[in-house]
Structures are given as structure tokens and as C-alpha cells.
């Protein structure tokens, strides 16, 4: 082994690397490093062969097929002559380590020689000569053909092929084709230029007779321009990604061998079982227990933050049903593995199912599931009426969570490695119920606090290296979702710097028209893919696989940064640090990089550091006192944070671990620690997801966006207008809280490793609710102009009109090209634009005022949990439900005054003559822009045609009253205001 290690080291220096195409030495660069043609897999290729492949070959690595990048001192393709000679450039800074010194690279070898080399390498492959990475090769025995290879050689060849396959990367970036992305970037630049000229014209040409209206409109337009820049430029480098599950299996999960895949702890969070139905949660849990992953590597933790006995009983029923459901889905490999959604599919379920017993077993399982639903619904019906003495458990003892605000911590292991077997005798993943302790006088931090409690419980009981968090209504739709994430997290080259893998949210139960943009495809398919090309997508709260080390507040391993130009600096290239800063970075890296490596075991921590025999500096950094100050007073938990690959001590008993798990979910455990400030989910906002991801990116971690062909997770969205607006209100309120906190991206994290365009994205994420104020003004301005006869624009010349037309054309072109490279449909894009206006003048506006109240006056507002009720009255019965909320007042008012303005302005123009029609068209254009964007809101306000709510009748009466008063005031049937003076003009007027 030591000899192998030395060989590897010498190979890295270039001493032992042999080109797998021509057999010459790979050589080193001018800096003395081994020449690496491919940055991804490191397949040994010498510089001459690399240059031939770039010029006349496939331009890709022969092993992993990744497109070759241009190395330093490599010629551009157009600078090479037709004969293969390299113009007048100097020879490459290349050192030849070939055994044959006469074959020095001179920079003038013809294409024929290059082609012979590559053809020779391909012939070796075709004949069975397998080039190995250490420079040796396996060939058929002398005098035998390929078909006459003996068994031992056959085995060696197969082993060599497997080794070659496992060396290849587990994923790769797939850039957007230049034919799609380059026109998009050109239009963005063009739009920026046109926008600058437009704003210059607007500022330098005030409207004197309507100066206040003009000033307001210009301020709004400048804000819109800034917000567009913040939103647009983080989408400059969108990418796609491909994963290779077969390579992952070859490397970590070979058949017949113990699986080497990393353990994953999966978190499901619930609060109120009446708003989050237990049947929905049960389906999510069942899809987790049936996931395509080694069962001993999966643990499911359900957080019941409402301490409801209904959730506990429903989970007990779910664990029993799982014993039948899991073997059924794995036997027939069905998708999805949530029974409610599997049985409700309107497809041919016999497609690709050839097992003779499938139909019989499916019918039996559907019957079992219907009975399971009856039992769950019975529990829900029973829970509607709470007994006066509180709930009593089956053993006759009172339920500890009868007082939801004052109860002890509760943990129940339903399924586990010690006895959780299915009906066929196979092991099931662990299923754990957790309800953290709550006491009066303690700050519990809502969902973020519950998630941190799950982090600690899971660390003590199973300590999976990675964690997946899901909302209770987001089931696993793709059973290989965890394997997809492992292609990034377990990749030797990429994984150590990845803090999380985010999957897009996809939804069931949305009507085809998606009236309120619930699918949110513009955000998930455009914005997040753009961020993946910079430093990674933001964390969106669910469907995210975390690296546990990153959640513990550590920094990623520091990589050597390559020098880059302006674009590199935009994407995060770092300037050369001063000596003092280098020293501080070195200390910081010593503290954080090594901290994820196991330093102490459980016994060392319990006995203290004094006798552990570590050097003084490491003892100072990693002493028991400093660890407990950071992570809390739990020796078992502190020990778990020091285990790089997870796991629990073999000497620990289940009883001692459960006792410790109860301790880490106690109310006072986080006091005087860094939980919620530097560790785990970060406190201070109702959108803890954005804040948590931002802290990780600021430390230098990168995230990955994974979009498998079959959506990994699916959830249910609130298709009702009122629920949708309340959901958007909560998101916007969280952003406003971050904006006014110390973690505001405008000033937090400078001097760290947050990339420039990534900061743009986070600033846009927190500042977008403020756009509601200029948006509200701009939606009211058309009505004011129509009612007063004034306008925000001066008279426009022909040249000026060209710039106006150019601006609108560039806006449309940006949207069209964005849809072209992203695959988002025009209907989805348009729904997103409409709801941006609807949400902006309602939920975002309220969020700004509520956030200001919280910051300035200390008045906190409670958010409402989004209802996940099932649809019993029809496919989209919820769509037509009308729930009155104050959020509906601003859009309704704006809609009415714009309609009134259109009628009043048109009647005014009819009475005033043809000369008033020109200015009218401009005013009507802006008014119709507002009305068209608010059309889905108007439709939602009306509900079904036979269910017009009373509040709409009230608003209709108010509209009629306003219109009548305005009609009398304008008096359109007289001509005394703008009509001709017949006494002056006479009959020839």
C-alpha cells in the first residue's frame, strides 16, 4: 500500500504518468505540476494529444466525454495552420517525460501523426488492450484472438473496465447551447442600453402641468429598472446538470457487497393536524419508508410541533400499514410510492408490468389502503371533540401533550433496526416521532426551532452524514431522489464543498390554467437554474438534502483559486489577499476545515481533553468547553459533530441514546449556545430557509440544483386565492424581516466568500417586497390621468417614439428568449407576470407595513399555516371558494378605479372632439395594462357564476355610486368646457 501511495504521489508530479493515447510521458507544466488535460476525471493525456483532440478530434476527454477547456499557453483553433503547424507562437511551457528523449515536442507535428496516435489507442481498445491509469495495460495472450482470451484475463479486463468506469465523475454540467444563451445575453445588454436612454429622456423632459404625477412616475420607473437588474443578471450563467446513477452504484453500491452509500436522516415537519391532514402526512412518510435506498441507511424523523395525539396515533397506524406497503412497491417497482397519489393516477397501470400476480396484489393493496384511510379518518373525526379531562393513551395515562404550550419532550421509535420488519421479514427504515419540550416563558422559534431539535435528535440516535427535509405534504415522487443527490454530495471532487442539493418544487392538484401561478415555474426553472451557474440556488424550505457539516457552521475546504478576468470576478473570483488577511484566513481554515474530522470519541469528551494527548493549539480550539459552548451541554451530541462520516458509537446503548435525545430537545438546551445564530436553521425570520442558505453561501459553500427528468418531490399548493395570498404574504414578510436585520445581504458577509452575482440574487430576494409601493403608485396613476385629463408623458416626437417601441420590444424579446432556453411555456410566464402585480399590490404591500411594525414598534405578527385540505367536492372545488381577507381590498379598489377611469376618460374624449383621442390612447394603454394583469384576481373575486359573494355586491354598489357622482361632475353632454365658441367662430368654425 505504501508503494502504491508513493506511485500515486510521483504520478501527480508527472514522474509516472503515461499518456493513454500515445504511450509517451504526460509531462508537467511550467509550474512543475502534472499536466491534466481533463479537470473532471484526470484521464492521463499528454499535451500534444490534448492539442490534437482540441483541434481535429472530438474536443472532449476520451474517458468522461467532458469538453476540453483551453489550458494556459494553448493556441486558439483559428491560429493553427491547415497543416497543423502552430503559427508563430512560442513552444508550450511543457516538459517531456517520455522514455524516448528523441520524441521531444517541437510544435510542428502534422495531423497524420496525431491521427495515427489516436487510431492506435482506439485499436488497442477494440482488440481488448485496456490502458490502465498507472500506465500499464491488459492485453490478450500472445497468439490468441480476442475471443480466445482465457478466464483470468477476461476477469482482469472486466475488473479494469469497472475500475475505469468508477473513476469517471458522478455528474456533469451541461451548458445551455450557445445558440440559445448568447442571443439572450445580447438582448439583456441591448435592453440595458435602451433602458438607460429611456430613463435619461424621462428625467430630462418633465411634464410641467402635471409635475407631481411625472415625478412619482419617474421615481417608480427608476426603482423598476434597479429591481430588474437585480433580478436579471444572476440569470446570466444558467446551466443544466446530468447525473450518472449507474456510476454511483458501481462505486458505492455494488450488488453482493455491503453498501457504501452515506446514511441519510429525513425530516418531516408538522404543526396542526387539522390544517395539515394526517392522511397527507402519512402518504409522505410512506413514500420515505419505500424509497430506493439501503434500508439501514435511511431514518425518518417526524416533528410534531403541536404535540397532537392525533398525529401520534396516525403515525402508529402508518407504521403498521408500511409493513405491507413497502414490500409491495419494491417488488413491482411502482412510482410514485405515496399510495394516495399512486392509486389516483389516471394512467394504464398495467404498462410495463408483466408479473402475473401484479393485478391480484394491486387490488388487495388498494383494499388495504382504503381500510387504512378509514382508520385515519376515524382518528380525525374523534379528534374534533377534545375531552374535558384531556386525551388518554391506550395504557390509561394522560397524553403528555394535552397542553400544547407546556409539555415535556416526547420521542417514540415506531420502526427501527431492532424490530421493524415488513410482512416478508425484511428490515424497514427507522421511523421516529419527535415532539420537543415546550414551556411558558421560552422562545421556541417556530419551524426553525423544531428543525434544529430534529438535527440534534437525529445526531444522537443515527447521525446520518446527510439530511433531507420535507414539508408534511411533499412526498417522494421519484424513489431514486436520494441517489440523485448522492451523485453530487458523494462525488470525490465536488462533494466536500457542497452544502446542500436543492430540488425544484412540483405540485399536484393545480388546474390546467394555473390561475394564480402556483406552479411558480419561472422561479424554479429560470431563476434557480441561473444561480446554479454562479454559487448555487437559494434554499427554498423543502426538498433539500443537506451536508450535516455545513449546518454545523463550519467552512468548506479552501481551494486554490485560479486567476481569472472580469467575468471570473463577477462570479466570485477573489483578489489577492494581504499578508495579514492571509494569516487570519489560515487560522480560520485550521479551525473550520479540520473540525469535521473525528478528533475525539465519546469517551475522550467525557473524560476531558487534558489526558487526550493533543497539542496545545488543537486543545485550545477543540476543547470540551469550547465545543459545549458552541453546541450545548451534551457529550453525546458534541461527539457526533466530530464524526465526519456520521454514525453513533458502537458502545452506546439505545436506552442511553434515547435519554440523551430527550435532553437535546429540552427548552433550555440552546441557551448561551450558537444554535440559531451560527448553527442549524437560523432564527430571526419566518422564512428561515432563505436566511439559512444565505449564511452557508456567505461562508463559501456552494449549492447544487438537481432537476431529474422525473420530479423528485411533489406537494400540494393552495389554489384558493385567499390562501395563496396569505402564503405569499408570509414569504414576503420573511424577506422584509431579513432586510431590516443584521443579516441583510446589502451589508452582511463582505470579506467572505459570497460571490458578487450571488449577492445580487439575495438582495433581490429580500428587497422585492418594497417594489409593492412603486407598483401600487404606478397602478393608480392611469386612473388619475384618465379622471384629471393630465398625463405623465410629454408630447412624444418620432425619434422618441422609436426608443419607446425599442424598450417594449426588448422586454418582450427578453421574455421570449428566456422561455426558449428554459423550456417554460408562454402561459406559465404570463401567469407569473399577472400574479406579480396581484401579489405586489396586496400581500407584498401588507408585508412591508407588518415588517416595519415589527422592527419599529416591536409588534410581531403570527403567520397562518397553509391549509393542505383534500379536495372532496370536486377536482378544483377549492379554486372557487371565497374567503374574505383584508388582502383583497387594495387590488379590488385599484381594479374599480381603473374601470371607472376608462369609462370616464372615454366619455370625456367622445365629448371633446377628435383632438383629444391622441392623448387618450396613451392613458388607456396603461389602464388596460393594469386591468389585464388583475384579470385573474377579478375572476377569483367572482368565484362561480352562481355563487357571487355578498362582499362583491357591496363593492358593485360602491362602484355604481362613485361612477354616478363622477358622471354628474363631468356632465359629458355639454360643450362648455372644450367645445367651440360659436359667437367667435361663426358658421365657419
- Rounded to the nearest 5 percent, the helix, strand and coil shares of the chain are 50, 10, 40
* Cα–Cα dist 227/758, whole Å: 15
487: nearest Cα among 322, 230, 261: 261
> Which residue stretches of 841-916 are H helix?
843-852, 889-912
Could you tell me whether strands 702-705 and 498-502 are parallel, antiparallel, or unpaired per DSSP bridges?
A: parallel
Are the CB atoms for 283 and 339 separated by under 8 Å?
A: yes
Residue 60, strand partner residues: 67
CA angle 716, 736, 453 (to 5 degrees): 60
Give the CB-side neighbour count of residue 675, counting CA atoms within 13 A. 26
| Other Cβ atoms within 10 Å of 111 Cβ, number | 15
What phi, psi does 508 have (nearest 5°)?
A: -105, 165
Flag whether 152 is marked binding. Answer: no
What phi, psi does 427 have (nearest 5°)?
A: -70, 145
Q: Which of 265, 305, 422, 723 is catalytic?
A: 305
Flag whether 447 is marked binding. Answer: yes
Flag whether 446 is marked binding. Answer: yes
* Cα–Cα dist 122/219, whole Å: 66
* Cα–Cα dist 267/282, whole Å: 13
| Other Cβ atoms within 10 Å of 802 Cβ, number | 12
Flag whether 604 is marked binding. Answer: no
* Cα–Cα dist 197/204, whole Å: 11
* Segments of 249-350 assigned E as strands: 264-270, 298-304
Sheet harboring 475-476: ordered strands across?
475-476, 713-716, 506-508
What phi, psi does 470 have (nearest 5°)?
A: -135, 145
* Cα–Cα dist 923/904, whole Å: 12
| Other Cβ atoms within 10 Å of 63 Cβ, number | 21
Q: Which of 24, 304, 689, 723 is catalytic?
A: 689
CA angle 174, 176, 178 (to 5 degrees): 125
DSSP 685-713: SS-HHHHHHHHHHHHT-EEEE---SS-SE
Say what angle helices 211-232 and 772-788 make with each other, to 10 degrees: 150
DSSP 227-261: HHHHHHGGGSS-EEEEE-HHHHHHHH--TTS---P
Sheet harboring 410-415: ordered strands across?
410-415, 430-435, 298-304, 264-270, 466-471, 544-547, 498-502, 702-705
**CA dihedral for 667, 673, 678, 679, sign (positive or negative):** negative
Residue 395 in 3-state DSSP? coil
DSSP 871-882: --SSTTGGGG--
Flag whether 10 is marked binding. Answer: no
Residue 671 annotated as catalytic: no
Flag whether 276 is marked binding. Answer: yes
Are the CB atoms for 647 and 463 separated by under 8 Å?
A: yes
Residue 305 annotated as catalytic: yes
* Segments of 271-352 assigned E as strands: 298-304
Say what angle helices 756-767 and 211-232 make with each other, to 10 degrees: 130
* Cα–Cα dist 167/269, whole Å: 38
CA angle 627, 498, 185 (to 5 degrees): 140
Residue 298, strand partner residues: 264
Q: Annotated binding site for UDP-alpha-D-glucose: which residue ranges?
A: 269, 275-276, 305, 446
Q: Annotated binding site for Mn(2+): which residue ranges?
A: 447, 471
Q: Annotated binding site: which residue ranges?
A: 269, 275-276, 305, 446-447, 471
Catalytic amino acids?
305, 689
Amino acid at each position: 500500500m505504501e508503494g502504491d501511495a508513493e506511485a500515486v504521489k510521483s504520478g501527480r508530479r508527472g514522474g509516472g504518468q503515461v499518456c493513454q493515447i500515445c504511450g509517451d510521458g504526460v509531462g508537467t507544466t511550467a509550474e512543475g505540476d502534472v499536466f491534466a488535460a481533463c479537470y473532471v476525471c484526470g484521464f492521463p493525456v499528454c499535451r500534444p494529444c490534448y492539442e490534437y483532440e482540441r483541434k481535429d478530434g472530438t474536443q472532449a476527454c476520451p474517458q468522461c466525454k467532458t469538453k476540453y477547456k483551453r489550458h494556459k499557453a494553448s493556441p486558439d483553433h483559428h491560429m493553427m495552420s491547415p497543416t497543423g503547424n502552430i503559427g508563430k507562437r512560442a513552444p508550450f511551457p511543457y516538459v517531456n517525460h517520455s522514455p524516448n528523449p528523441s520524441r521531444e515536442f517541437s510544435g510542428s507535428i502534422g495531423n497524420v501523426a496525431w491521427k495515427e496516435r489516436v487510431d492506435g489507442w482506439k485499436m488497442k481498445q477494440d482488440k481488448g488492450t485496456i490502458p490502465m491509469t498507472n500506465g500499464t495495460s491488459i492485453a490478450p495472450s500472445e497468439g490468441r484472438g480476442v475471443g480466445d482470451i482465457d478466464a483470468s484475463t477476461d476477469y482482469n479486463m472486466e475488473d479494469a473496465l469497472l475500475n475505469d468506469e468508477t473513476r469517471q465523475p458522478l455528474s456533469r454540467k451541461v451548458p445551455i447551447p450557445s445558440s440559445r444563451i448568447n442571443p439572450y445575453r445580447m438582448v439583456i445588454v441591448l435592453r440595458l442600453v435602451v433602458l438607460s436612454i429611456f430613463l435619461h429622456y424621462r428625467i430630462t423632459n418633465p411634464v410641467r402641468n402635471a409635475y407631481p404625477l411625472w415625478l412619482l412616475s419617474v421615481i417608480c420607473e427608476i426603482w423598476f429598472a434597479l429591481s430588474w437588474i437585480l433580478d436579471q443578471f444572476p440569470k446570466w450563467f444558467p446551466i443544466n446538470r446530468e447525473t450518472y446513477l449507474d456510476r454511483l452504484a458501481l462505486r458505492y453500491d455494488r450488488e453482493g457487497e455491503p453498501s457504501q452509500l452515506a446514511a441519510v436522516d429525513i425530516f418531516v415537519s408538522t404543526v396542526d393536524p387539522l390544517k395539515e391532514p394526517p392522511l397527507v402526512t402519512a402518504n409522505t412518510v410512506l413514500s420515505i419508508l419505500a424509497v430506493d435506498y439501503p434500508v439501514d441507511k435511511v431514518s425518518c424523523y417526524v416533528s410534531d410541533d403541536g404535540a397532537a395525539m392525533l398525529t401520534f396515533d396516525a403515525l402508529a397506524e402508518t407504521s403498521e400499514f408500511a409493513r405491507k406497503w413497502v414490500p409491495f412497491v419494491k417488488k413491482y417497482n411502482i412510482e410514485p410510492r405515496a399510495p394516495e397519489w399512486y392509486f389516483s393516477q389516471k394512467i394504464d397501470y398495467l404498462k410495463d408490468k408483466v408479473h402475473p400476480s401484479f393485478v391480484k396484489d394491486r387490488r388487495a393493496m388498494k383494499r388495504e389502503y382504503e381500510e387504512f384511510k378509514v382508520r385515519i379518518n376515524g382518528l380525525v373525526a374523534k379528534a374534533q371533540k377534545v375531552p374535558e379531562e384531556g386525551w388518554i393513551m391506550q395504557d390509561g395515562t394522560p397524553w403528555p401533550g394535552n397542553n400544547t404550550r407546556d409539555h415535556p419532550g416526547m420521542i417514540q421509535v415506531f420502526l427501527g433496526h431492532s424490530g421493524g420488519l415488513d410482512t416478508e421479514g425484511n428490515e424497514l427504515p427507522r421511523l421516529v416521532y419527535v415532539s420537543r419540550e415546550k414551556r411558558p416563558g421560552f422562545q421556541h422559534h417556530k419551524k426553525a426551532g423544531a428543525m434544529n431539535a430534529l438535527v440534534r435528535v437525529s445526531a444522537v440516535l443515527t447521525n446520518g452524514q446527510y439530511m433531507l427535509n420535507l414539508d408534511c405534504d411533499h412526498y417522494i415522487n421519484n424513489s431514486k431522489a436520494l441517489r440523485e443527490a448522492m451523485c453530487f454530495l458523494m462525488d470525490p471532487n465536488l462533494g466536500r464543498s457542497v452544502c446542500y442539493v436543492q430540488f425544484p418544487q412540483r405540485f399536484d392538484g393545480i388546474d390546467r390554467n394555473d390561475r394564480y401561478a402556483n406552479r411558480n415555474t419561472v422561479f424554479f426553472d429560470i431563476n434557480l437554474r441561473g444561480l446554479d451557474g454562479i454559487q448555487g440556488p437559494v434554499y427554498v424550505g423543502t426538498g433539500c438534502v443537506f451536508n450535516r457539516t455545513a449546518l454545523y457552521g463550519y467552512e468548506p475546504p479552501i481551494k486554490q483559486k485560479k486567476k481569472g478576468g472580469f467575468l471570473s470576478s463577477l462570479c466570485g473570483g477573489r483578489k489577492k489577499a494581504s499578508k495579514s488577511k492571509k494569516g487570519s484566513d489560515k487560522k480560520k481554515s485550521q479551525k473550520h476545515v479540520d473540525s469535521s474530522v473525528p478528533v475525539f470519541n465519546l469517551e475522550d469528551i467525557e473524560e476531558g481533553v487534558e489526558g487526550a494527548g493533543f497539542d496545545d493549539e488543537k486543545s485550545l480550539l477543540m476543547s470540551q468547553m469550547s465545543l459545549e459552548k458552541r453546541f450545548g451541554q451534551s457529550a453525546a451530541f458534541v461527539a457526533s459533530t466530530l464524526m465526519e462520516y456520521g454514525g453513533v458509537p458502537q458502545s452506546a446503548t439505545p436506552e442511553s441514546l434515547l435519554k440523551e435525545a430527550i435532553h437535546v430537545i429540552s427548552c433550555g438546551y440552546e441557551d448561551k449556545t450558537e444554535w440559531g445564530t451560527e448553527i442549524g436553521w437560523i432564527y430571526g425570520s419566518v422564512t428561515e430557509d432563505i436566511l439559512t442558505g444565505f449564511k452557508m453561501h456567505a461562508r463559501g459553500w456552494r449549492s447544487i440544483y438537481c432537476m431529474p427528468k422525473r420530479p423528485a418531490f411533489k406537494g400540494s399548493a393552495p389554489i384558493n386565492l385567499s390562501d395563496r395570498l396569505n402564503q405569499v404574504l408570509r414569504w414576503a414578510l420573511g424577506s422584509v424581516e431579513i432586510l431590516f436585520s443584521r443579516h441583510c445581504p446589502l451589508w452582511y458577509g463582505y470579506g467572505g466568500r459570497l460571490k458578487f452575482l450571488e449577492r445580487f440574487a439575495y438582495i433581490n430576494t429580500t428587497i422585492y417586497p418594497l417594489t409593492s409601493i412603486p407598483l401600487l403608485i404606478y397602478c393608480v396613476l392611469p386612473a388619475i390621468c384618465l379622471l384629471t385629463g393630465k398625463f405623465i408623458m410629454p408630447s412624444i416626437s418620432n425619434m422618441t417614439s422609436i426608443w419607446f417601441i425599442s424598450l417594449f420590444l426588448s422586454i418582450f424579446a427578453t421574455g421570449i428568449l428566456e422561455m426558449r432556453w428554459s423550456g417554460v411555456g408562454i402561459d406559465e410566464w404570463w401567469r407569473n407576470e399577472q400574479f406579480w402585480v396581484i401579489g405586489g399590490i396586496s400581500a407584498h404591500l401588507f408585508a412591508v407595513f407588518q415588517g416595519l411594525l415589527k422592527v419599529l414598534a416591536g409588534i410581531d405578527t403570527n403567520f397562518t399555516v397553509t391549509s393542505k385540505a383534500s379536495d372532496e367536492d370536486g377536482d378544483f372545488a377549492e379554486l372557487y371558494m371565497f374567503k374574505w381577507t383584508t388582502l383583497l381590498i387594495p387590488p379590488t379598489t385599484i381594479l374599480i378605479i381603473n374601470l371607472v377611469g376608462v369609462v370616464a376618460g372615454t366619455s370625456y374624449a367622445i365629448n371633446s372632439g377628435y383632438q383629444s383621442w391622441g392623448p387618450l390612447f396613451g392613458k388607456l394603454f396603461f389602464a388596460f395594462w393594469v386591468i389585464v394583469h388583475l384579470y385573474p384576481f377579478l375572476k377569483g373575486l367572482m368565484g362561480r357564476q352562481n355563487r357571487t359573494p355578498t362582499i362583491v355586491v357591496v363593492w358593485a354598489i360602491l362602484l355604481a355610486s362613485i361612477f354616478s357622482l363622477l358622471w354628474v361632475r363631468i356632465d359629458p353632454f355639454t360643450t362648455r368646457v372644450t367645445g367651440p365658441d360659436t359667437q367667435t367662430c361663426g358658421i365657419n368654425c
